[in-house]
Structure 1
Amino acid sequence: MSKQSDIIGSIVQTIRGIADQTNLLALNAAIEAARAGEHGRGFAVVADEVRSLAARTSQATVEIVEVVRKNHDLSTSAVTSMQSSLSRTGLGVELANEAGEVILEIQQGSRHVVDAISQFNSTLQLQ
């Protein structure tokens, strides 16, 4: 999961770089459109739209980074919870085994008591 996050981070950096370059090109285009005066008015509109697109792309990369960070945090939390559950399950198994052993000891003790009562009863009947 961490490797995938790194790959996504690298792609986001590339997109962010392209957005920055696009923004710079839009700025240069706006300057050239201003220099061209009346003839550059249409080009200025295009430059403005390109700048807007670059800004939206930059914002999208920020949002992607946030989603990846949240996914990483959730994954880390899930792994921690699973490890804790595994540990607790192991402890539960140990306790169940111990309880089983105690039940066997109680069963053996009960047999001894029953045997002792039977012997006592037999002794009483002989007298």
Structure 2
Amino acid sequence: MSSTSRPDDRLASVFRFASELIAWVATPWAIASWSLPLAVLSVVVLIGLPTLLSTPGDKRNVIVAVPGPVTIALVLVQLVAAVVAAWAAWPPIAAVPVTVLAAITVLLELPRWRWLASR
């Protein structure tokens, strides 16, 4: 595979999406007891930023083009939000699997992140 070819991330995308879903649920859940407007804002940010900002070649429809490291950072924000919010909002029996899921996601994302880092 040449350095310009986007790596196959079909498996990674399943784990990435599962982590994103958890972030979208757990983050407002963890924040809601402090502020409902911030809980809503967290979902808008977690869903909105990756929808608006993407690296050309990584997604079919690019609304606002950003360099690859920005896309990597957006995924990391989602993963950190999922883990931190799960530990803040849920018991360990739920937070531990979220943490494991996030760790597996990072490992599976590495080839894509290497490719994105060169963009």
TM tier, smaller: 0.3 to 0.5
Higher relative contact order (CA 8 A, sep 6+): 2
Q: TM-score, normalised by structure 1?
A: 0.33
Question: Could you say which structure has the higher helix fraction?
Answer: 1
TM-score by length of 2: 0.34
